[in-house]
Amino acid sequence: MARMVNPARKVNIVKKRTKPFVRVQSDRFKRVSASWRRPVGIDSATRRRFKGTRPHPKIGYGSNAKTRFLLPNGFRKFTIKNRKDLEGLVMLNRTYAAEIAHNVGAKKRVQLIERAKQLNVKVINADARVRSVEN
């Protein structure tokens, strides 16, 4: 029986910024949602990046290339829809973890999870839509 698979290397993930970027004047009006929109007004102090205005998303906030798209468990995510996708992870089972697509039915899901166990591939959402058979 295959033992539990671990990532090839566990790297400490450092996020440069975890707070969300807040939209201009979202605190003043209920109709303006907090989700970020680029300021575009001709006189906008925020667009002109004056001192004391809110920070903008920019390239400097990017994550480290080594840890970008890395899950907290140390794997990268790969969505699988069928058996062929799963077979492609055989050599990369210490780098990528499989995530079964949302539109895969319960019957196929069970088969994919069973095959993943044989190939020693970690499945992130192995419990989704799979119920144990009751008497």
Instruction: Output the pLDDT for position 89.
Output: 93
Q: Which residue has the higher pLDDT, 39 or 3?
A: 39
- Report yes or no on whether pTM surpasses 0.85: no
Residue found under tokens 């839509």: 129
For the cut 70, the answer to whether the pLDDT of residue 94 exceeds it is yes
Instruction: Output the pLDDT for position 131.
Output: 74
For the cut 90, the answer to whether the pLDDT of residue 11 exceeds it is no
Q: Are 89 and 115 in contact (CB under 8 A)?
A: no
Cα distances (Å, whole numbers) of residue 16 to 60, 61, 62, 124: 9, 6, 7, 26
- Neighbouring C-beta atoms of residue 86, cutoff 10 Å: 22
Residue 99 gets which letter from DSSP?
A: E
